[in-house]
Amino acid sequence: MKIAVLYGGVSAEREVSLSTGKQMMTALQEKGHEVVGVDFHPDRLQEIIALDVDMVVLGLHGKYGEDGRLQSVLDMLKLPYVGSGVMASALAMDKARSKQFFQGAGIRTAKELVLDRKLYKEAQVETLEFGFPAVVKPNHEGSTIGLTIAQSLADLKAGIETAFKHDTTVLVEEFIAGTEVTVAVMGGKGAVRALPVVEIVPKNTYYDYESKYAAGGSEHFVPARLDEATTALLQKQAVQAHEALGCEVYSRVDFIVPPDGSAPVILEVNTLPGMTPTSLFPDAAREIGLSYPDMMEELITLSLNK
């Protein structure tokens, strides 16, 4: 097939996307496809309109790539692409709204306070229902961009200002201590399955940007060191979250597993998860016998059938 890989983009996750795109192109070429690489920019839509390919693979992350906008352009051009459609992509990028869908599916979420830049006043955070530490993050960013773990009111206010530099909506959430895990989800309609749970042990205090993408920044245990019941629950809820948002083909669902035995807490669904050399989705695929090129071929096949 002739396949276009869109990568790069203009979001804060551009560097991650460049690495993802490179890996994807190499893998697809190994499978014998003719691959066209496009460093995507929304000001150069003519490059997309002019594409003459059988399939588009999205190696983009964040705004203008993962949020449904580009998917809508591809839909109008009748260009088939890998992954979720417009609505699911937009919902998954909106952390506050997606949490409402998770709650509707019976999945535990962290307590939260949603702040709007135009309406924000410091008095809104003088008293937090859930106290400190608190997590502050932009509502529409990934890869821990603009994230702060606030230990005090001063930290919280500074963290909110940082997050507002990246987004007009900011989420303040209770901090849930525990084991960070992620569940890759793959499949077509009626045949969606969860891959083995991956446990993440960051070298830094938190699973921050460096821990995610620097070589040796974190250790991944596949399968996660969890009991069977917790593993089964995480896999079930990952599929539920994927389907609640209307995701297609693949996604990656992040959770925290508290040490007290209480229910796992869902963090977010990633509709275009990282596919870099240190990424989690390929780790889970490898555990079920899918090499990186085989995994990409499977995603192409599922997308052709969606």
Q: Please give the structure tokens belonging to residue 147.
A: 């994230």
Residue 217 exposure: Cα atoms within 13 Å on the Cβ side: 14
39 carries a ligand binding annotation: no
d(CA 249, CA 181): 21
d(CA 109, CA 58): 29
167 carries a ligand binding annotation: no
CB 168 within 8 A of CB 117: yes
Quote the crossing angle between the two packed helices 86-93 and 69-76, to the nearest 10°. 170
Q: DSSP state, 73?
A: H
Catalytic (active site) residue 248: no
Catalytic (active site) residue 13: yes
Helix or strand (DSSP H, E) at 58: strand 55-58
d(CA 250, CA 281): 10
Q: 19, 89, 251, 279: which one is catalytic?
A: 279
d(CA 301, CA 296): 9
Peptide bond into 133 cis (omega under 30): yes
Catalytic (active site) residue 126: no
204 carries a ligand binding annotation: no
Q: 19, 98, 143, 303: which one is catalytic?
A: 143
Catalytic residues: 13, 143, 279
Annotated binding-site positions: 254, 268, 270
Residue ranges of the annotated binding site for Mg(2+) are 254, 268, 270
